[in-house]
C-alpha cells in the first residue's frame, strides 16, 4: 500500500507544517487507526489462541489471472 500511495504520503509529510489539508488528513488517519489498536489490545490473546490451533488455517488467497 505504501508504494501505491507514496506520492500522497510524501506530499502530506512535506506539508504538515503549512497545509491544513495535510494536518486534517494526518488526524483522520490517526483517528481511523485508533479502533484497530483498541481491538488488537482487547482481543489479541483470543486471536493468537484461535490462530495457534492446528485445525485453523487461513483462507486461500485468490491468484490474479486464474
Mean pLDDT of the chain: 83
pLDDT of 25-55, one tens digit each?
Answer: 889 989 999 999 999 999 988 888 887 776 6
pLDDT of 6-26, one tens digit each?
Answer: 888 888 889 888 889 888 988
Place of cell 493468537: 48
Buried/exposed code over 35-60 (b: 16+ C-beta within 10 A; e: otherwise): eeeeeeeeeeeeeeeeeeeeeeeeee
Nearest to 26 by CA among 15, 36, 37: 15
C-alpha cell at 33: 487507526
> How much is the pTM?
0.52
> What residue spans of 1-66 are helical by DSSP H?
6-14, 20-52
Amino acid at each position: 500500500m505504501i508504494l501505491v500511495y507514496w506520492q500522497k504520503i510524501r506530499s502530506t509529510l512535506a506539508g504538515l507544517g503549512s497545509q491544513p489539508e495535510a494536518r486534517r488528513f494526518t488526524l483522520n488517519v490517526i483517528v481511523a487507526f485508533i479502533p484497530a489498536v483498541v481491538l488488537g489490545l482487547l482481543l489479541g490473546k483470543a486471536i493468537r489462541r484461535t490462530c495457534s490451533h492446528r485445525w485453523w488455517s487461513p483462507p486461500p488467497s485468490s491468484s490474479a489471472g486464474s
